[in-house]
Structure 1
């Protein structure tokens, strides 16, 4: 049963081409044409989101070009999370292959930039301030391991949160064949509430991914 349950997240192939991954780019085709008119309601909404995120990121990072990158990262993850809530659309962010493709190059570039340009700072960052001399080797080991697992934790956190909600919705929908008719209303109401919760999770997880990535990039300065 568990294999069949998790198989709902497997990408299907047509002529050996896994076209499900096109859902990452499908949203660009769904954007209405009036988005590009200025001013439009959707464009104003996007501008307000950008301003809010900029005010959040300005506390962490100071460079405008990095702010634009992290805002774009947030929008990419959030919109892909939302795409998975539509019926019969593949959820790309529920796969480690997708999330690691985002987090691993990001972490590697941050680490390379830090160790090449701020080597002394990166060495001192491995030992917290006021660490006793005897504990320094252990602290270096712990900090090194925590740095190495950062891309995996970013990817696993996003993957687990996307899978958990979708699995719960799938399990509840499979109960429709065994429930009596008078309980169907409760089941539908529960599904609607869970769908609203999943919408909030889609935004929160994209925000957490963005903030953690920004914090990691701030440590190299």
Structure 2
């Protein structure tokens, strides 16, 4: 969906379940088609934490704006849940008032895509492919097209009870095939090797990222 303000393409984060729609339109990017003397302002909505001791978004933006007087960024922090932010983005898109960039999580990218909130930025994203690990970069793609760039990544960990694993005669699986085989062996003994909560996409997300796989085909 294209609103009056060019719209959204998504950035994402493994650590924050809301990371970014990254959107660029001809009037809001730093491409070769933009005259050097043209001044533009890029709006960015995010949910990144801004507590004491952290690197603040506003500080990063201030440095960028100082170094790039013709390309100014205006950042807005959304204080609310990821789903509430998506609702706001959907409303803003329809009203033609959406930000150029916004933050959503890897797990939310399919939802905002399905709602028609993203702009295809395949050509622009390809220029930065070598700057990112293959897994996170591929998770910004749906149907072979890119809708943003990863904003950051972080580790996901799997905690387990070593004594219980020993009782069940299993070891920690290291591959998808081992996970399936171990899960079957565990289930046969009336136990579960892990749980998948309805509101938590971390397991699916980490598996897709590790395999450098796409979310789904359209």
The TM-score bracket by the shorter chain reads under 0.3
Which structure: larger Rg? Answer: 1
> Taking structure 2 as the reference length, what is the TM-score of the superposition?
0.25
Point out the structure with the larger helix share: 1
